[in-house]
Structure 1
Amino acid sequence: MKHINLNFGLNIWYKALPIVVGALLYGGVANAQSANPVINNIVTEETGNSQLESLAHQLFDGIGPRLVGTPQMKQANDWAVAKYKSWNIPAHNEKWGEWRGWERGVSHIDMISPRVKSLEGTQLAWSPGMGKKTVTAELIILPDLADSVAFQQWLPNVKGKFILISMCQPTGRPDYNWTEFATKDSFDRMKAARAAQTDAWKKRISKTGLTNKTLPVALENAGAAGIITNNWSAGFGVDKIFGAYTKIVPTVDIALEDYGMLYRLTESGSSPKISIHCESKELGVVPTFNTIAEIKGTEKPDEYVMLSAHFDSWDGGTGATDNGTGTLTMMEAMRLLKKYYPHPKRTILVGHWGSEEEGLNGSRAFVEDHPEIVKNLQALFNQDNGTGRVVNIGGQGFVESKDYLTRWLAAVPDTIKNRIKTNFPGQPGGGGSDFASFVAVGAPGFSLSSLNWSYGSYTWHTNRDTYDKVVFDDLKNNAMLAAIMAYMASEDPVKTTNTKTEGVKWPAQTKATRRGGLDK
């Protein structure tokens, strides 16, 4: 664990930086007494009067997932504006583009033969609906054919059938479970068999002459009743849920446990039948927004400190940890700052970005539309990798980042600061999250990178990304950190200098996609 250098030099302002004189832990969250009243009040408020659980309930349980182009995304934008205004923080929704409007409806998926069983599954985003009708049909597995000619000859067989186009996984147990309980020989055999099966399935797809994107379209054009997939996320009961490519018939991801059962029954000749009813609405072209809130600066109002998190999500779950937790961290940090630092030296902005999941589009549009802010940016702090407490901050390739980030981190209570590893000057981020939109144009955007909490397998873009996965003690930690870093960056008498490290290949700026999911 890297500790922060506390040598502030002779500058009088740095001598006034807060010194932690005591700390009391509540559930792993610091409640520290500081010589600086602003920092002390931030810590005391967050440990004793956090609003995070209430905000999480309203956003995740009440509004739910926030897929770009859906009514729920706009509902979330409006909710955030209203919430900020209730805290006396000016906020607005800023249009940056247009998207294919779509709204998810009810889904029912049942096996009716050879026995009756309700199945766990999710209609993929932007999947065509079925109106009020229910379709019952047999299943057919995409066969292993010789080549694209053989595939075209086989294609008429799909008419009126649901088509299974994903590999049947050999195990639904994650590897860590095998590591704990299996013999080494058993685990090795399973991994070898799975690798061979995975490779064979990729070849099965490629021999059709199509791709994972174009295959569903060919099947629906041939009269398939629907496309059945399984995109397992390598954990118990968890699947990745992305978007559909079909435009006529539904595409449904069925959970591994049920998908495997259907696959095996079909493969053994049991001729299972399933019944699917999926509703959704096409809403035409809808506007897309970023939600921006502001605490106006008093001494240097035309210099900016920014907090940052993307607001949109995929919609297999409720988008709780990707990126609801980052969103609420920054909302709570703004609440704390408004309450205890209402007249900052520099203007403090928060950006809640739209369509990050489709390519950082909201933040890229902001960078394009607001050169006056980007040019005068003191620093931006972004959080977007799950519910864990922040443990890594890198300098994003900026030579001077070590100097100013170290100064600002020095004010953070030890119970938060001493868990954070720093890396200077670090490498510039070319993607991954919205800080990269700013780094690409040479602006100081930094990622507050958090502990994993099995994020990659269990909550990142999955059907299990829900309220119950949130670790609120870690979110409190992060809200305090973000608020204190924004406060310190605002108070710093020196404007940051951001020289790019020599010899480092800098990522190129990518333009925002401002019309998404729409035919050209």
Structure 2
Amino acid sequence: MIRKNTLITALFTLSVCLVSAQDKDPVVESIIKEATENSQLETLGHELMDGIGPRLVGTPQMKNAHDWAVAKYQSWGIPAANEQWGEWKSWERGIFHIDMVSPRVQSLRGTQLAWSPSTSKKGVTAELVVLPTVKDSMAFANWLPNVKGKLVMISMPQPTGRPDYNWEEFATEKSFEKMKKERDEQNEAWNENMKNTGLDRRSLPVALEEAGAVGIVASYWSRGFGVNKIFSAYTKEIPTVDLELEDYGMLYRLVESGQKPQLHIVAESKDLGVAPTFNTIAEIKGSEKPDEYVILSAHFDSWDGGTGATDNGTGTLVMMEAMRILKKVYPNPKRTILVGHWGSEEQGLNGSRAYVEDHPEIVSGVQAVFNQDNGTGRVVRISGGGFLKSYDYLSKWLNAVPDEITDEIETTFPGTPARGGSDYASFQAAGAPAFSLSSLSWSYWNYTWHTNRDTYDKIIFDDVRNNAILTAILAYKASEDAEKTDREKAVLPINKRTGEPMEWPSPRSPQRKGGLD
């Protein structure tokens, strides 16, 4: 015999199950199933990061990546093409070695900076010198002839190679505070001395080169174990190399103790002249509103200290996987779904700015842009980007995403527009609803952002898979929405510096000829 209250409970449970079954969206269910049971992320990551490697704008590897992406999309039945928007200095890394040859022999850890001039195949061997302490630019100018025929160390030697979190865990409070105070004083003195030279980080290598130095040796520590930021050289004829903290500090101490260390540097990079720059664009054509667009966005280029895995290999993988899934389970979207893999984001959002400038008809038809850039972590923040009614549609689309994904996402509405940072800013400046899918850190800023450690092994594929599911569902719901997204802009907050309301950013033109001056 069934008790009355038990029967009521059973009927209620059945009704909830029926309602839940009715509420389930078969496209959403198919997206989740395809992403979890047939993920291509690891394979794509291996092919891009391990096979092609870093994607510095203007290099052959950048063009290889564009061609690879086009071929991959076409293999999925998605039309794709490389769209040229400019030109850049073309350069390619070659064999690189850096060794201390006196007062003893030791191979060192470091790399040639991007676009650095090469050495001959025999390399260059020279003594190291460090910058002097000077009272003014005249004193520095008087010292400059001393660099002729020398390698010049231009970075401050760090007092510790241990990151602050390591000190916090193991040091006494007194010892930690003492270290920080001494480091701050050393930084202040170094910066003051640099000011006294009358030069800065860009002009100093040029002045040293003109004075006859045969190479520049720097070290840009990223405040983590064994990790350095890797950017570009400013010299025209002599090599510029970055040494990891430990080796740089050793050499600096040897110079200061009068032991006159010598390095042998071989850097066989190639100046290849000028190369075209591209965006890779792929699309799934809309069946009802083909002139309205949902755009998936990620920059394709990287710096080349590592292989560009989390900046922005993971964003690239998210967008490619989302497009692959959508083509398979949602092949006839209402609106056109585009993906843009932008070139030269790292030098100022150039690829996306060019696209916005060259395609006003697409920008005017944008339903939404979803951009992912800041690392391998799962998405935890989404802002309305300053669009007054963004809550109305973003929250509706997010409601279709599984709770285990959205429960970790903080939303801010209406938010404020970006003034840079990543490619969604290019679209926001033009008034198009564009949103950053902002990720959990995974020590991104210290360990992988523009560093020598941004490699495949740092990818967290579970988080990237979550992001691909999130992106695909948002694209699907944005495409299906009966309403066009509202572009009304919110009243922006007061600028604390001026006391006036902040203004919406204006579109900026890209640099279409890079590194050619």
TM-score (ref. length: structure 1): 0.93
Equivalent residues of 1:165, 1:229 under 8 A apart: yes
Of 127, 131, 137 in structure 2, the residue corresponding to residue 142 of structure 1 is 131
Cα deviations across residues 354-379 of structure 1 (Å, max 9, x unaligned)? 00000000000000011111001000
Q: Does 1:41 align with 2:39?
A: no
Q: Give the C-alpha shift of residue 132 in structure 1.
A: 1.2
Q: Who wins on radius of gyration, i.e. which is larger?
A: 2
- Relative to structure 2, which stretch is displaced further, 469-478 or 110-119? 110-119
User: Residue type matched to 2:97 in 1?
Assistant: H
Q: Distance in 1 between matches of 2:67 and 2:147?
A: 45
Match of 2:487 in 1: 498
Q: Give the C-alpha shift of residue 34 in structure 1.
A: 7.3
Structure 2 CA distance for partners of 1:279 and 1:272, relative to 1, 3 Å:
same
Cα deviations across residues 138-178 of structure 1 (Å, max 9, x unaligned)? 11011111211111111111111110110000000111111
Q: Does 1:279 align with 2:279?
A: no
Of 67, 80, 94 in structure 2, the residue corresponding to residue 105 of structure 1 is 94
Of 508, 511, 515 in structure 2, the residue corresponding to residue 510 of structure 1 is 508
**Structure 1 gap ranges (5+):** 1-17, 22-32
Of 171, 190, 208 in structure 2, the residue corresponding to residue 219 of structure 1 is 208
Q: Distance in 2 between matches of 1:434 and 1:462?
A: 20
Cα deviations across residues 1-48 of structure 1 (Å, max 9, x unaligned)? xxxxxxxxxxxxxxxxx9877xxxxxxxxxxx9711111111011111
Q: Give the SS at the match of 1:207.
A: helix
Q: Give the SS at the match of 1:277.
A: strand
Where do 1:160-171 residues align within 5 Å? 160-171=149-160
Match of 1:385 in 2: 374
Where do 1:390-469 residues align within 5 Å? 390-469=379-458
Q: Give the C-alpha shift of residue 273 in structure 1.
A: 1.1
Q: Distance in 2 between matches of 1:180 and 1:227?
A: 36
Q: Give the SS at the match of 2:81.
A: strand
Q: Give the C-alpha shift of residue 460 in structure 1.
A: 0.3
Equivalent residues of 2:84, 2:278 under 8 A apart: yes
Equivalent residues of 1:19, 1:411 under 8 A apart: no
Q: Does 1:251 align with 2:244?
A: no
Equivalent residues of 1:131, 1:280 under 8 A apart: no
Q: Give the C-alpha shift of residue 131 in structure 1.
A: 2.7
Equivalent residues of 1:34, 1:40 under 8 A apart: no
Structure 2 CA distance for partners of 1:82 and 1:161, relative to 1, 3 Å:
same
Q: Distance in 1 between matches of 2:408 and 2:350?
A: 32
Equivalent residues of 1:155, 1:219 under 8 A apart: yes
Match of 1:268 in 2: 257
Q: Distance in 2 between matches of 1:248 and 1:185?
A: 48
Match of 1:341 in 2: 330
Equivalent residues of 1:290, 1:354 under 8 A apart: yes
Q: Give the C-alpha shift of residue 179 in structure 1.
A: 0.8
Equivalent residues of 2:386, 2:492 under 8 A apart: no
Match of 1:328 in 2: 317
Q: Give the C-alpha shift of residue 323 in structure 1.
A: 0.2
Q: Distance in 2 between matches of 1:60 and 1:206?
A: 40
User: Residue type matched to 2:255 in 1?
Assistant: T
The aligned length equals: 491
Structure 2 CA distance for partners of 1:484 and 1:403, relative to 1, 3 Å:
same
Q: Does 1:88 align with 2:77?
A: yes
Equivalent residues of 2:381, 2:439 under 8 A apart: yes
Equivalent residues of 2:131, 2:154 under 8 A apart: yes
Cα deviations across residues 312-360 of structure 1 (Å, max 9, x unaligned)? 0000000000000000100000000000000000000000000000000
Q: Does 1:119 align with 2:117?
A: no
Q: Distance in 1 between matches of 2:186 and 2:256?
A: 15
When the two chains are superposed, the root-mean-square deviation of aligned CA atoms in Å is 1.3
Q: Give the C-alpha shift of residue 135 in structure 1.
A: 1.3
Structure 2 CA distance for partners of 1:20 and 1:62, relative to 1, 3 Å:
farther
Q: Distance in 2 between matches of 1:351 and 1:20?
A: 36
Equivalent residues of 2:416, 2:492 under 8 A apart: no
Q: Give the C-alpha shift of residue 441 in structure 1.
A: 1.2
Q: Does 1:172 align with 2:161?
A: yes
Match of 1:6 in 2: none
Q: Report percent identity of matched pairs.
A: 69
Q: Distance in 2 between matches of 1:165 and 1:125?
A: 17
Q: Distance in 1 between matches of 2:438 and 2:19?
A: 25
Q: Does 1:371 align with 2:360?
A: yes
**Structure 2 gap ranges (5+):** 1-17, 494-502
TM-score (ref. length: structure 2): 0.94
Q: Give the C-alpha shift of residue 115 in structure 1.
A: 1.6
User: Residue type matched to 2:162 in 1?
Assistant: R
Match of 1:289 in 2: 278
Cα deviations across residues 391-444 of structure 1 (Å, max 9, x unaligned)? 100000101100000000000011111111100001111110000000011110
Q: Distance in 2 between matches of 1:279 and 1:198?
A: 34
User: Residue type matched to 1:259 in 2?
Assistant: Y
After superposing on structure 2, the runs of 4+ consecutive aligned residues of structure 1 that deviate more than 3 Å are 18-21
Equivalent residues of 1:307, 1:350 under 8 A apart: yes
Q: Distance in 2 between matches of 1:211 and 1:391?
A: 38
Q: Distance in 2 between matches of 1:379 and 1:225?
A: 52
Q: Give the SS at the match of 1:291.
A: strand
Q: Distance in 1 between matches of 2:273 and 2:260?
A: 39
User: Residue type matched to 1:379 in 2?
Assistant: A
User: Residue type matched to 1:240 in 2?
Assistant: K
Q: Distance in 2 between matches of 1:311 and 1:34?
A: 37
Q: Distance in 1 between matches of 2:95 and 2:514?
A: 24
